[in-house]
Protein backbone atom coordinates (compact mmCIF):
# COMPACT_ATOMS: atom_id res chain seq x y z
CA UNK A 1 0.00 0.00 0.00
CA UNK A 2 1.28 3.48 -0.87
CA UNK A 3 1.85 5.75 2.11
CA UNK A 4 -0.31 8.85 1.86
CA UNK A 5 2.53 11.29 2.52
CA UNK A 6 4.98 9.73 0.06
CA UNK A 7 5.40 11.77 -3.09
CA UNK A 8 5.57 9.45 -6.07
CA UNK A 9 5.66 10.28 -9.75
CA UNK A 10 2.96 8.81 -11.97
CA UNK A 11 5.48 6.35 -13.40
CA UNK A 12 6.57 5.21 -9.94
CA UNK A 13 2.94 4.71 -8.97
CA UNK A 14 2.39 2.52 -12.05
CA UNK A 15 5.52 0.47 -11.34
CA UNK A 16 4.63 -0.10 -7.67
CA UNK A 17 1.20 -1.48 -8.45
CA UNK A 18 0.43 -5.16 -7.91
CA UNK A 19 -1.12 -6.99 -10.84
CA UNK A 20 -4.78 -6.04 -10.52
CA UNK A 21 -8.05 -7.05 -12.17
CA UNK A 22 -7.53 -4.19 -14.65
CA UNK A 23 -4.14 -5.58 -15.63
CA UNK A 24 -5.63 -9.04 -16.10
CA UNK A 25 -8.45 -7.63 -18.22
CA UNK A 26 -5.93 -5.92 -20.50
CA UNK A 27 -3.96 -9.16 -20.76
CA UNK A 28 -7.08 -11.19 -21.63
CA UNK A 29 -8.12 -8.84 -24.45
CA UNK A 30 -4.60 -8.67 -25.91
CA UNK A 31 -4.22 -12.45 -25.69
CA UNK A 32 -7.47 -12.83 -27.64
CA UNK A 33 -6.25 -10.42 -30.30
CA UNK A 34 -2.94 -12.28 -30.70
CA UNK A 35 -4.69 -15.64 -30.83
CA UNK A 36 -6.91 -14.61 -33.73
CA UNK A 37 -4.07 -12.74 -35.45
CA UNK A 38 -2.06 -15.95 -35.44
CA UNK A 39 -5.08 -17.98 -36.52
CA UNK A 40 -5.55 -15.63 -39.50
CA UNK A 41 -1.87 -15.96 -40.39
CA UNK A 42 -2.26 -19.73 -40.57
CA UNK A 43 -5.31 -19.79 -42.87
CA UNK A 44 -3.60 -19.44 -46.30
CA UNK A 45 -2.25 -23.01 -46.12
CA UNK A 46 -5.87 -24.24 -46.41
CA UNK A 47 -7.58 -21.30 -48.08
CA UNK A 48 -5.39 -21.15 -51.18
CA UNK A 49 -5.81 -24.84 -52.20
CA UNK A 50 -9.59 -24.40 -51.82
CA UNK A 51 -9.47 -21.40 -54.17
CA UNK A 52 -7.71 -23.30 -56.99
CA UNK A 53 -10.90 -24.54 -58.71
CA UNK A 54 -12.96 -21.46 -57.76
CA UNK A 55 -10.60 -18.87 -59.23
CA UNK A 56 -8.76 -21.12 -61.70
CA UNK A 57 -5.46 -20.57 -59.92
CA UNK A 58 -2.09 -21.60 -61.26
CA UNK A 59 0.97 -22.19 -59.06
CA UNK A 60 2.14 -18.66 -59.90
CA UNK A 61 -1.16 -16.95 -59.07
CA UNK A 62 -1.48 -19.04 -55.89
CA UNK A 63 1.98 -17.84 -54.87
CA UNK A 64 0.70 -14.28 -55.36
CA UNK A 65 -1.95 -14.83 -52.68
CA UNK A 66 0.64 -16.26 -50.29
CA UNK A 67 2.83 -13.24 -51.01
CA UNK A 68 -0.08 -10.90 -50.27
CA UNK A 69 -0.36 -12.48 -46.81
CA UNK A 70 3.35 -11.99 -46.12
CA UNK A 71 3.57 -8.50 -47.61
CA UNK A 72 0.48 -7.38 -45.70
CA UNK A 73 1.98 -8.51 -42.40
CA UNK A 74 5.26 -6.82 -43.30
CA UNK A 75 3.57 -3.51 -44.25
CA UNK A 76 1.38 -3.57 -41.15
CA UNK A 77 4.36 -4.24 -38.91
CA UNK A 78 6.24 -1.23 -40.27
CA UNK A 79 3.49 1.34 -40.88
CA UNK A 80 1.24 0.65 -37.90
CA UNK A 81 4.13 0.32 -35.45
CA UNK A 82 5.27 3.79 -36.53
CA UNK A 83 1.75 5.16 -36.11
CA UNK A 84 1.47 3.50 -32.71
CA UNK A 85 4.53 5.46 -31.56
CA UNK A 86 3.20 8.58 -33.27
CA UNK A 87 -0.49 8.82 -32.31
CA UNK A 88 -0.91 6.29 -29.50
CA UNK A 89 -1.37 2.63 -28.67
CA UNK A 90 -5.13 2.76 -28.17
CA UNK A 91 -5.92 4.36 -31.52
CA UNK A 92 -3.84 1.85 -33.47
CA UNK A 93 -5.04 -1.29 -31.73
CA UNK A 94 -8.55 -0.23 -32.78
CA UNK A 95 -7.53 0.75 -36.32
CA UNK A 96 -5.73 -2.55 -36.94
CA UNK A 97 -8.81 -4.58 -35.98
CA UNK A 98 -11.02 -2.29 -38.07
CA UNK A 99 -8.77 -2.88 -41.09
CA UNK A 100 -8.88 -6.61 -40.58
CA UNK A 101 -12.65 -6.69 -40.07
CA UNK A 102 -13.50 -4.62 -43.16
CA UNK A 103 -11.28 -6.55 -45.56
CA UNK A 104 -12.00 -9.98 -44.12
CA UNK A 105 -15.69 -9.21 -44.52
CA UNK A 106 -15.06 -8.20 -48.14
CA UNK A 107 -13.06 -11.43 -48.68
CA UNK A 108 -16.17 -13.49 -47.95
CA UNK A 109 -17.84 -11.96 -51.01
CA UNK A 110 -14.81 -11.83 -53.33
CA UNK A 111 -15.34 -13.54 -56.67
CA UNK A 112 -12.17 -12.67 -58.59
CA UNK A 113 -8.45 -13.08 -58.09
CA UNK A 114 -7.37 -9.47 -57.57
CA UNK A 115 -10.14 -8.75 -55.08
CA UNK A 116 -8.90 -11.70 -53.03
CA UNK A 117 -5.29 -10.43 -53.20
CA UNK A 118 -6.27 -6.89 -52.14
CA UNK A 119 -8.51 -8.11 -49.30
CA UNK A 120 -5.83 -10.46 -48.02
CA UNK A 121 -3.15 -7.76 -48.12
CA UNK A 122 -5.09 -5.13 -46.15
CA UNK A 123 -6.56 -7.64 -43.70
CA UNK A 124 -3.07 -8.85 -42.84
CA UNK A 125 -1.84 -5.25 -42.57
CA UNK A 126 -4.27 -4.93 -39.69
CA UNK A 127 -3.00 -7.96 -37.85
CA UNK A 128 0.62 -7.03 -38.52
CA UNK A 129 -0.11 -3.93 -36.46
CA UNK A 130 -1.79 -5.90 -33.69
CA UNK A 131 1.39 -7.70 -32.69
CA UNK A 132 3.60 -4.63 -32.62
CA UNK A 133 1.15 -2.39 -30.76
CA UNK A 134 -0.06 -4.90 -28.17
CA UNK A 135 3.48 -5.83 -27.21
CA UNK A 136 4.42 -2.22 -26.48
CA UNK A 137 1.11 -1.60 -24.72
CA UNK A 138 1.52 -4.54 -22.31
CA UNK A 139 5.10 -3.49 -21.51
CA UNK A 140 3.99 0.03 -20.57
CA UNK A 141 1.06 -1.08 -18.41
CA UNK A 142 2.50 -3.85 -16.24
CA UNK A 143 4.82 -3.55 -13.22
CA UNK A 144 8.48 -4.65 -13.65
CA UNK A 145 8.13 -7.84 -11.60
CA UNK A 146 5.49 -9.31 -13.95
CA UNK A 147 6.09 -7.47 -17.21
CA UNK A 148 8.04 -10.30 -18.82
CA UNK A 149 5.54 -12.98 -17.88
CA UNK A 150 2.52 -11.15 -19.28
CA UNK A 151 4.32 -10.17 -22.49
CA UNK A 152 5.53 -13.70 -23.18
CA UNK A 153 2.03 -15.05 -22.57
CA UNK A 154 1.18 -13.41 -25.90
CA UNK A 155 3.60 -15.74 -27.68
CA UNK A 156 1.91 -18.81 -26.19
CA UNK A 157 -1.12 -18.14 -28.38
CA UNK A 158 0.72 -19.29 -31.52
CA UNK A 159 0.58 -23.12 -31.20
CA UNK A 160 -3.13 -23.46 -30.24
CA UNK A 161 -4.17 -20.82 -32.79
CA UNK A 162 -2.35 -22.60 -35.62
CA UNK A 163 -3.78 -25.94 -34.46
CA UNK A 164 -7.30 -24.51 -34.72
CA UNK A 165 -6.99 -23.64 -38.42
CA UNK A 166 -7.22 -27.19 -39.88
CA UNK A 167 -10.01 -28.04 -37.41
CA UNK A 168 -12.14 -25.11 -38.62
CA UNK A 169 -11.32 -25.98 -42.23
CA UNK A 170 -12.48 -29.58 -41.79
CA UNK A 171 -15.66 -28.46 -40.00
CA UNK A 172 -16.48 -26.11 -42.86
CA UNK A 173 -15.72 -28.76 -45.45
CA UNK A 174 -17.70 -31.58 -43.82
CA UNK A 175 -20.42 -29.95 -41.73
CA UNK A 176 -21.07 -26.53 -43.26
CA UNK A 177 -20.54 -27.15 -47.00
CA UNK A 178 -22.47 -23.99 -47.89
CA UNK A 179 -19.57 -22.04 -46.39
CA UNK A 180 -16.67 -24.45 -46.90
CA UNK A 181 -13.33 -22.60 -46.71
CA UNK A 182 -15.16 -19.34 -45.93
CA UNK A 183 -15.84 -20.59 -42.40
CA UNK A 184 -12.16 -19.81 -41.60
CA UNK A 185 -12.27 -16.06 -42.38
CA UNK A 186 -15.86 -15.81 -41.06
CA UNK A 187 -14.75 -17.05 -37.63
CA UNK A 188 -11.80 -14.63 -37.68
CA UNK A 189 -14.16 -11.78 -38.63
CA UNK A 190 -16.59 -12.50 -35.78
CA UNK A 191 -13.70 -12.68 -33.30
CA UNK A 192 -12.11 -9.45 -34.58
CA UNK A 193 -15.38 -7.52 -34.28
CA UNK A 194 -15.85 -8.87 -30.74
CA UNK A 195 -12.33 -7.86 -29.70
CA UNK A 196 -12.80 -4.44 -31.35
CA UNK A 197 -15.87 -3.94 -29.12
CA UNK A 198 -13.99 -5.09 -25.99
CA UNK A 199 -10.99 -2.87 -26.68
CA UNK A 200 -13.05 0.30 -26.52
CA UNK A 201 -12.87 0.24 -22.69
CA UNK A 202 -9.08 -0.19 -22.50
CA UNK A 203 -7.15 2.95 -21.45
CA UNK A 204 -4.35 4.64 -23.35
CA UNK A 205 -0.81 3.88 -22.19
CA UNK A 206 0.09 6.11 -19.24
CA UNK A 207 3.65 6.44 -20.50
CA UNK A 208 2.47 7.52 -23.94
CA UNK A 209 0.17 10.16 -22.42
CA UNK A 210 2.93 11.53 -20.20
CA UNK A 211 5.30 11.75 -23.18
CA UNK A 212 2.69 13.99 -24.86
CA UNK A 213 2.28 16.14 -21.76
CA UNK A 214 -1.23 14.87 -20.96
CA UNK A 215 -0.64 14.63 -17.23
CA UNK A 216 -4.25 14.92 -16.05
CA UNK A 217 -5.40 12.11 -18.35
CA UNK A 218 -2.49 9.97 -17.25
CA UNK A 219 -3.30 10.56 -13.58
CA UNK A 220 -6.94 9.49 -14.05
CA UNK A 221 -5.79 6.22 -15.61
CA UNK A 222 -3.26 5.61 -12.82
CA UNK A 223 -6.08 6.15 -10.31
CA UNK A 224 -8.19 3.56 -12.16
CA UNK A 225 -5.37 1.02 -11.86
CA UNK A 226 -4.94 1.82 -8.17
CA UNK A 227 -8.67 1.46 -7.58
CA UNK A 228 -8.69 -1.96 -9.25
CA UNK A 229 -5.85 -3.08 -6.95
CA UNK A 230 -8.27 -3.16 -4.01
CA UNK A 231 -9.67 -0.88 -1.30
CA UNK A 232 -6.53 -1.13 0.82
CA UNK A 233 -4.36 0.24 -1.98
CA UNK A 234 -4.64 4.01 -2.12
CA UNK A 235 -2.30 6.89 -2.87
CA UNK A 236 -3.21 10.21 -1.23
CA UNK A 237 -0.17 12.25 -2.21
CA UNK A 238 0.07 15.01 -4.81
CA UNK A 239 0.12 14.45 -8.56
CA UNK A 240 3.80 14.44 -9.48
CA UNK A 241 4.71 14.32 -13.14
CA UNK A 242 8.07 12.80 -14.12
CA UNK A 243 10.75 15.11 -15.45
CA UNK A 244 9.42 15.26 -19.00
CA UNK A 245 11.65 17.01 -21.50
CA UNK A 246 9.23 19.75 -22.55
CA UNK A 247 11.69 21.30 -25.00
CA UNK A 248 11.45 18.39 -27.39
CA UNK A 249 8.51 17.59 -29.61
CA UNK A 250 7.14 14.18 -28.71
CA UNK A 251 6.90 12.09 -31.89
CA UNK A 252 7.78 8.66 -33.23
CA UNK A 253 11.51 8.57 -33.94
CA UNK A 254 12.68 5.90 -36.41
CA UNK A 255 16.09 7.60 -36.36
CA UNK A 256 16.66 6.17 -32.86
CA UNK A 257 17.37 2.76 -34.39
CA UNK A 258 20.57 4.13 -35.89
CA UNK A 259 21.33 6.27 -32.85
CA UNK A 260 24.67 5.59 -31.16
CA UNK A 261 22.89 4.38 -28.03
CA UNK A 262 20.53 1.94 -29.75
CA UNK A 263 22.24 0.87 -33.00
CA UNK A 264 23.83 -2.25 -31.52
CA UNK A 265 20.43 -3.40 -30.24
CA UNK A 266 18.99 -2.84 -33.71
CA UNK A 267 21.69 -4.98 -35.34
CA UNK A 268 21.16 -7.88 -32.92
CA UNK A 269 17.38 -7.81 -33.11
CA UNK A 270 17.21 -7.56 -36.92
CA UNK A 271 19.72 -10.42 -37.34
CA UNK A 272 17.86 -12.41 -34.71
CA UNK A 273 14.55 -12.06 -36.55
CA UNK A 274 16.19 -13.06 -39.82
CA UNK A 275 17.63 -16.17 -38.18
CA UNK A 276 14.49 -17.06 -36.26
CA UNK A 277 12.11 -16.57 -39.19
CA UNK A 278 14.43 -18.52 -41.46
CA UNK A 279 14.28 -21.42 -39.02
CA UNK A 280 10.49 -21.13 -38.73
CA UNK A 281 10.10 -21.14 -42.50
CA UNK A 282 12.44 -24.12 -42.70
CA UNK A 283 10.48 -26.21 -40.21
CA UNK A 284 7.29 -25.34 -42.11
CA UNK A 285 8.91 -26.52 -45.35
CA UNK A 286 10.40 -29.73 -43.96
CA UNK A 287 7.27 -31.76 -44.81
CA UNK A 288 7.62 -30.70 -48.45
CA UNK A 289 11.31 -31.56 -48.44
CA UNK A 290 10.77 -34.90 -46.74
CA UNK A 291 7.93 -36.10 -48.95
CA UNK A 292 9.79 -34.98 -52.09
CA UNK A 293 12.76 -37.16 -51.19
CA UNK A 294 15.10 -34.25 -51.82
CA UNK A 295 18.76 -34.71 -51.03
CA UNK A 296 18.61 -38.47 -51.56
CA UNK A 297 16.20 -39.05 -48.66
CA UNK A 298 13.13 -41.21 -48.84
CA UNK A 299 10.62 -40.55 -46.07
CA UNK A 300 6.91 -41.23 -46.11
CA UNK A 301 4.01 -38.98 -45.28
CA UNK A 302 3.60 -40.85 -41.98
CA UNK A 303 7.03 -39.81 -40.75
CA UNK A 304 6.46 -36.31 -42.07
CA UNK A 305 3.32 -35.92 -39.99
CA UNK A 306 5.14 -37.13 -36.87
CA UNK A 307 8.01 -34.71 -37.41
CA UNK A 308 5.56 -31.85 -37.97
CA UNK A 309 3.80 -32.66 -34.69
CA UNK A 310 7.12 -32.87 -32.86
CA UNK A 311 8.13 -29.47 -34.22
CA UNK A 312 4.87 -27.87 -33.06
CA UNK A 313 5.19 -29.46 -29.61
CA UNK A 314 8.77 -28.17 -29.35
CA UNK A 315 7.52 -24.75 -30.42
CA UNK A 316 4.99 -24.73 -27.58
CA UNK A 317 7.49 -26.10 -25.04
CA UNK A 318 10.15 -23.51 -25.90
CA UNK A 319 7.66 -20.65 -25.58
CA UNK A 320 6.27 -22.03 -22.32
CA UNK A 321 9.77 -22.45 -20.89
CA UNK A 322 10.60 -18.82 -21.65
CA UNK A 323 7.27 -17.59 -20.25
CA UNK A 324 7.97 -19.37 -16.95
CA UNK A 325 11.61 -18.29 -16.67
CA UNK A 326 11.86 -14.87 -18.34
CA UNK A 327 11.42 -13.02 -15.03
CA UNK A 328 13.67 -15.38 -13.06
CA UNK A 329 16.46 -16.60 -15.37
CA UNK A 330 16.18 -13.43 -17.42
CA UNK A 331 15.83 -12.22 -20.98
CA UNK A 332 19.46 -12.73 -22.03
CA UNK A 333 19.58 -16.32 -20.78
CA UNK A 334 16.54 -17.28 -22.84
CA UNK A 335 17.82 -15.50 -25.92
CA UNK A 336 21.18 -17.25 -25.67
CA UNK A 337 19.55 -20.60 -24.84
CA UNK A 338 17.23 -20.41 -27.85
CA UNK A 339 19.83 -19.41 -30.40
CA UNK A 340 22.46 -21.94 -29.28
CA UNK A 341 19.98 -24.83 -29.35
CA UNK A 342 18.65 -23.57 -32.68
CA UNK A 343 22.16 -23.54 -34.17
CA UNK A 344 22.87 -27.07 -32.92
CA UNK A 345 19.58 -28.23 -34.44
CA UNK A 346 20.35 -26.66 -37.82
CA UNK A 347 23.77 -28.34 -37.96
CA UNK A 348 22.28 -31.69 -36.92
CA UNK A 349 19.60 -31.53 -39.64
CA UNK A 350 22.33 -31.74 -42.29
CA UNK A 351 23.60 -35.12 -41.07
CA UNK A 352 20.80 -37.32 -42.46
CA UNK A 353 21.09 -35.74 -45.92
CA UNK A 354 24.84 -36.21 -45.99
CA UNK A 355 25.04 -39.72 -44.54
CA UNK A 356 21.77 -41.59 -45.05
CA UNK A 357 19.34 -42.52 -47.76
CA UNK A 358 16.80 -43.86 -45.28
CA UNK A 359 16.65 -42.07 -41.96
CA UNK A 360 15.41 -43.19 -38.53
CA UNK A 361 12.67 -40.99 -37.11
CA UNK A 362 14.80 -39.58 -34.30
CA UNK A 363 17.36 -38.25 -36.79
CA UNK A 364 14.62 -36.08 -38.26
CA UNK A 365 12.66 -35.22 -35.13
CA UNK A 366 15.45 -34.31 -32.72
CA UNK A 367 17.26 -31.79 -34.97
CA UNK A 368 13.94 -30.22 -36.00
CA UNK A 369 12.93 -29.95 -32.34
CA UNK A 370 16.23 -28.32 -31.38
CA UNK A 371 16.07 -25.87 -34.27
CA UNK A 372 12.59 -24.86 -33.19
CA UNK A 373 13.91 -23.80 -29.79
CA UNK A 374 15.00 -20.57 -31.48
CA UNK A 375 11.45 -19.58 -30.49
CA UNK A 376 12.87 -18.98 -27.01
CA UNK A 377 14.91 -16.16 -28.53
CA UNK A 378 11.83 -14.67 -30.17
CA UNK A 379 9.76 -14.93 -26.99
CA UNK A 380 12.42 -13.23 -24.87
CA UNK A 381 13.00 -10.62 -27.60
CA UNK A 382 9.39 -9.46 -27.21
CA UNK A 383 10.24 -8.32 -23.70
CA UNK A 384 13.83 -7.18 -24.14
CA UNK A 385 13.11 -4.90 -27.10
CA UNK A 386 10.41 -2.94 -25.28
CA UNK A 387 12.75 -2.49 -22.31
CA UNK A 388 15.68 -1.26 -24.39
CA UNK A 389 13.91 1.28 -26.63
CA UNK A 390 12.08 4.38 -25.37
CA UNK A 391 8.42 5.33 -25.69
CA UNK A 392 9.06 7.09 -29.03
CA UNK A 393 10.18 3.82 -30.65
CA UNK A 394 8.73 1.05 -28.48
CA UNK A 395 6.20 -0.31 -31.00
CA UNK A 396 8.71 0.02 -33.82
CA UNK A 397 11.19 -1.98 -31.70
CA UNK A 398 9.01 -4.98 -32.56
CA UNK A 399 7.76 -3.81 -35.94
CA UNK A 400 11.03 -3.00 -37.74
CA UNK A 401 13.03 -6.13 -36.79
CA UNK A 402 9.98 -8.30 -37.51
CA UNK A 403 9.82 -6.73 -40.98
CA UNK A 404 13.39 -7.95 -41.56
CA UNK A 405 12.28 -11.40 -40.46
CA UNK A 406 9.32 -11.40 -42.82
CA UNK A 407 11.57 -10.51 -45.76
CA UNK A 408 13.72 -13.50 -44.77
CA UNK A 409 10.63 -15.73 -44.59
CA UNK A 410 9.74 -14.72 -48.17
CA UNK A 411 13.23 -15.49 -49.51
CA UNK A 412 14.03 -18.60 -47.43
CA UNK A 413 11.85 -21.08 -49.38
CA UNK A 414 13.59 -20.21 -52.65
CA UNK A 415 17.00 -20.59 -51.00
CA UNK A 416 16.11 -23.93 -49.41
CA UNK A 417 14.68 -25.45 -52.57
CA UNK A 418 17.56 -24.13 -54.70
CA UNK A 419 20.16 -26.02 -52.61
CA UNK A 420 17.99 -28.99 -51.62
CA UNK A 421 20.45 -31.50 -53.03
CA UNK A 422 23.22 -30.09 -50.81
CA UNK A 423 21.41 -29.10 -47.65
CA UNK A 424 24.58 -27.96 -45.88
CA UNK A 425 24.56 -24.87 -48.12
CA UNK A 426 21.35 -23.85 -46.36
CA UNK A 427 21.51 -25.09 -42.79
CA UNK A 428 25.16 -24.28 -42.02
CA UNK A 429 24.77 -20.57 -42.92
CA UNK A 430 21.53 -20.43 -40.90
CA UNK A 431 23.33 -22.00 -37.93
CA UNK A 432 26.11 -19.42 -38.35
CA UNK A 433 23.57 -16.57 -38.23
CA UNK A 434 22.08 -17.99 -35.01
CA UNK A 435 25.51 -18.31 -33.40
CA UNK A 436 26.45 -14.76 -34.41
CA UNK A 437 23.23 -13.51 -32.82
CA UNK A 438 24.02 -15.48 -29.65
CA UNK A 439 27.52 -13.96 -29.46
CA UNK A 440 26.26 -10.42 -30.09
CA UNK A 441 23.48 -10.93 -27.54
CA UNK A 442 26.05 -11.94 -24.94
CA UNK A 443 28.19 -8.84 -25.51
CA UNK A 444 25.65 -6.19 -26.56
CA UNK A 445 22.26 -6.94 -24.97
CA UNK A 446 22.04 -6.05 -21.25
CA UNK A 447 19.84 -7.97 -18.82
CA UNK A 448 16.70 -5.96 -18.04
CA UNK A 449 14.59 -8.28 -15.88
CA UNK A 450 12.59 -6.45 -13.20
CA UNK A 451 14.06 -3.13 -14.34
CA UNK A 452 12.16 0.14 -14.54
CA UNK A 453 11.38 0.38 -18.23
CA UNK A 454 12.15 4.10 -18.49
CA UNK A 455 15.62 3.58 -17.00
CA UNK A 456 16.58 0.43 -18.94
CA UNK A 457 15.48 2.09 -22.20
CA UNK A 458 17.37 5.30 -21.37
CA UNK A 459 14.11 7.08 -22.15
CA UNK A 460 15.43 10.60 -22.53
CA UNK A 461 11.95 12.04 -23.09
CA UNK A 462 10.42 10.77 -19.85
CA UNK A 463 13.59 11.13 -17.80
CA UNK A 464 14.18 14.66 -19.03
CA UNK A 465 17.73 14.01 -20.24
CA UNK A 466 19.46 14.73 -23.53
CA UNK A 467 18.66 12.27 -26.34
Residue 38 CA to residue 337 CA, distance in Å, equals 25
Which of 25, 453, 450, 30 lies closest to 208, judged by CA? 453
Q: What is the DSSP string of 382-413?
A: HHHHHHHS-TTTTTHHHHHHHHHHHHHHHHHH
Question: Has residue 150 been placed in a domain?
Answer: yes
Model confidence pLDDT, tens digit, residues 188-219: 889 888 998 999 889 999 999 998 888 899 99
Assess whether 196 and 329 both reside in one domain. no
Domain containing 258 — which CATH number?
1.20.1250.20
Buried b (16+ CB within 10 A) or exposed e, 88-98: bbbebbbbbbe
334 near 447, Cβ under 8 Å? no
Least confidently predicted of 2-11, 234-243, 340-349: 2-11
Whether the model pTM is above 0.85: yes
Residue 452 CA to residue 222 CA, distance in Å, equals 16
Indicate the DSSP class of residue 229.
T
According to the model, what pLDDT value does residue 357 have?
A: 57
**Measured torsion, CA atoms of residues 26, 150, 129, 440, in degrees rounded to the nearest 10:** 160
361 near 386, Cβ under 8 Å? no
Q: Is the pLDDT of residue 323 over 90?
A: yes
Residue 278 CA to residue 432 CA, distance in Å, equals 12
Residue 398 CA to residue 378 CA, distance in Å, equals 10
Report the chain's mean pLDDT, rounded to a whole number. 85
Number of domains observed in the structure of the chain: 2
Question: Has residue 173 been placed in a domain?
Answer: yes
Provide the domain limits for residue 391. 254-456
Question: Has residue 466 been placed in a domain?
Answer: no
Band (pLDDT 50/70/90 cuts) for residue 431 is: very high
Question: Has residue 464 been placed in a domain?
Answer: no
Assess whether 96 and 187 both reside in one domain. yes
Phi-psi label, residue 458: left if phi above 0, alpha if psi -120 to 50, beta otherwise: left
Q: Is the pLDDT of residue 35 over 80?
A: yes
Assess whether 279 and 408 both reside in one domain. yes
Amino acid sequence: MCASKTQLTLLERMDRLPVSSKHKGISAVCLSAWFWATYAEGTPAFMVPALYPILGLTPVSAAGIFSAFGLGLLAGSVVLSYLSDQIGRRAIFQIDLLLFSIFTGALLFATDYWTVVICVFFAQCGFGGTMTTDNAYISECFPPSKRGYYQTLLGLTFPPALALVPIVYLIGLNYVPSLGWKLMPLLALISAVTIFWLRRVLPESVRFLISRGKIDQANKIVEQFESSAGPEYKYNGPIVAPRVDVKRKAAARPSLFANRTYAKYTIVFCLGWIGQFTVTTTTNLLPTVFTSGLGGMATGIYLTIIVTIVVQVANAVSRLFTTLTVDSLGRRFNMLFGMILGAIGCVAIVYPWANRTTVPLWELAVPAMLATFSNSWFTAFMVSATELYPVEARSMAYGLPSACGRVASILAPFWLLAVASTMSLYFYPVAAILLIVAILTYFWIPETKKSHIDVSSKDSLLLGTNP
